[in-house]
Structure 1
Amino acid sequence: MDLFLAILIILVLLVVAFKGVKILRPYEKGVVERLGKYNRTVESGLVIVFPFVETIRKVDLREQVVDVPPQEVITKDNTVVVVDCVIFYEVVDPFNAVYNVVNFYQAITKLAQTNLRNIIGDLELDQTLTSREQINSQLREVLDLATDKWGTRVVRVEIQKIEPPKDIVEAMSKQMKAERMKRAAILEAEGYKQSEIKKAEGDKQAAILEAQGKAEAIKAVADADKYQEIAIAEGEAKAILTVYGAIHEGNPTNDLLAIKYMEALQKVADGKATKIFLPLETSGVLGSIAGISELFKEKDKEDKEIQPMKVKVKTDI
């Protein structure tokens, strides 16, 4: 009997300890109710409550995720798109989270779907597809304001998918393909243009260099010819001066000049030409030639006179 009583007492103590001693994790807080009425909020750690009188409801303070199911939404330009999102939230007030909302998951899901329709309904399809950050920001502000009395804070909202109808997707695909082909054609034309420009510039530069080379070559040849002509002219000038000086130093007579003139005429008449043009100033030279002929006549006469004398002398001997 005593053993049975002892065992019973031990069992009662174990039940009391199990009901009265609670352990809260670091990420939890507890709302204690005494006889169905809110009593206090306890922190994490070892918590002792009165069994069968007080009860504790644990509240998780970690960030949690709500996956909003996909739904069809009509945009401003009457296009139906399928949109879904995820919501990240955390509990900041355990009392409000326990007593101000019955099913937080369902409440925030419906609230997100309703506000998502309102936000996307004010946007056209192109804006909807390119304005995810704007949609996320607006939806987070609306949800955070609405869930403030529920003791929670919406950390962020992310749009997972915005799916237009198939015909719209095909049209967008064709448009994108046409745009890419257009860009490719523009790039190809631009490349061809640049290539032709570079080629023309190369031809131009080559022509310029070739012209410069030819000009320098012509200039070099002209300089060489000029130097040659100058050298020849200087040589001839020196020769003429030398001859002129020699002639004046020798004090030539008209007879000598006439003989030289005759020699020059012989060279002139030695060619194949049928006509010979003589200088205008030939009267003096011709006079000299006449004088020379007279000299030759006188010389011939003297020779004839001298010859009989030589014969006569030989006879006498």
Structure 2
Amino acid sequence: MPYVLLLLFLILMVMVVLNIKIVPQATVFVVERMGAYQATWETGVHFTIPFVDRVAKKVSLKEQVVDFNPQPVITKDNVTMQIDTVVFYQITDAKLFAYGVERPIAAIEHLTATTLRNIIGELELDNTLTSRDVINTKITATLDVATDKWGIKVNRVELKNIIPPREIQDAMERQMKAEREKRESVLRAEGEKRSQILVAEGEKESAILRAEAVREQKIREAQGEAEAIMMVQKALADSIKLLNEANPSSAVLTIKSLEAFQKAADGKATKIIIPSEIQSLAGLATSFKEVMTEPQAVELEGNKPSEM
């Protein structure tokens, strides 16, 4: 009998342990009782009634991502392309998610493909390739409204890849290559232009520096000549001042006049205008010379032998 009681106690303990349910963070359990919806358990410890309650579904409340396979779509200008999408969704109502639709992820995939075909069918190829943000916004809005009754909120939809036909890809690659070559040629032309501008600016600066050097040289030469003239004039002024202070006699002035006339006569001028004062002095000098030389001439005549 004690063994039977012990066995029953162990069985009871196992059943109690098996019916203790711990709900982790960001997760809820959908519980059914006798096959009908009973409750939605949130984070914490819960107990089920053996053989009556069961956890029908464990639902994560975290944002989830599902990547769907590429879907064929046709543009307004009859170009068939492949587009694969990525859907970011989050479960907001576990009861609706459990009982609202069978295979909800598959339902979202089919709804995404249908919505994508409807949107792309109104756009041409060029608009499809350049309007990703518009397409993403439209698909997100449509899916969010449609999945509300399934307890799902679609946060956003992204077009992962847009794959046009091979011939269009080749044409796009050739166009991109041509544009790249054009940009490279433009960059080279701009570089050459910049180089020429730099060379021209360098030559201009060099010419300016040479002109400034010539100008500086001429200024220095002019300043040197001006200083030389000033020194000569100062020396002349000083000599005149000293001459005035010495109070020279008329004889000294006469001698200075003769010296000046001598320097003037030493030049290469073909015509010299002699002041009257210097002319009278010249005549005086000539008379003086004749007086000095006359006795010598008389003496020579006296010493001349007589003719026989």
Aligned to 2:29: 29
Aligned to 1:203: 203
Give the structure-2-normalised TM-score.
Answer: 0.71
Q: Report the structure number with the largest CA radius of gyration.
A: 1
1:58 aligns with 2:57: yes
Shift of 1:75: 2.6
1:173 aligns with 2:173: yes
1:216 aligns with 2:216: yes
**Distance across 1 between alignment mates of 2:281 and 2:68:** 137
CA contact (8 A) 1:92 1:152 kept: yes
1:285 aligns with 2:285: no
Letter in 1 for 2:280: V
Q: Number of residues paired by the alignment?
A: 285
**Distance across 2 between alignment mates of 1:281 and 1:50:** 156
| Distance verdict in 2 for CA 1:164–1:281, change over 3 Å | same
| Distance verdict in 2 for CA 1:66–1:280, change over 3 Å | closer
Aligned to 1:314: none
For 1:164-200, what per-residue CA distance to the aligned partner results, in whole angstroms no more than 9, with x for missing partners? Answer: 1111211111111111211111112112222221222
Aligned to 2:305: none
Show the 5 A alignment for 1:220-231: 220-231=220-231
| Distance verdict in 2 for CA 1:247–1:84, change over 3 Å | same
**Distance across 2 between alignment mates of 1:290 and 1:21:** 160
CA contact (8 A) 1:31 1:95 kept: no
Shift of 1:202: 1.7
CA contact (8 A) 2:28 2:41 kept: no
1:183 aligns with 2:180: no
Aligned to 2:96: 96
1:248 aligns with 2:250: yes
Shift of 1:155: 3.4
DSSP-derived class of the 1:69 partner: coil
Root-mean-square deviation (CA, aligned residues, Å) is: 4.5
Q: Which structure 2 segments of 5+ residues have no match?
A: 303-308
Letter in 1 for 2:250: H
Aligned to 1:82: 82
For 1:128-173, what per-residue CA distance to the aligned partner results, in whole angstroms no more than 9, with x for missing partners? Answer: 3344344333322221211111122223333222111111211111
DSSP-derived class of the 2:102 partner: coil
| Distance verdict in 2 for CA 1:54–1:215, change over 3 Å | closer
Show the 5 A alignment for 1:61-140: 61-63=60-62, 64-140=64-140
**Distance across 1 between alignment mates of 2:166 and 2:224:** 85
Shift of 1:119: 2.5
For 1:63-85, what per-residue CA distance to the aligned partner results, in whole angstroms no more than 9, with x for missing partners? Answer: 44443221111234433220111
Letter in 1 for 2:73: V
Shift of 1:248: 1.7
**Distance across 2 between alignment mates of 1:96 and 1:227:** 109
**Distance across 2 between alignment mates of 1:290 and 1:152:** 141
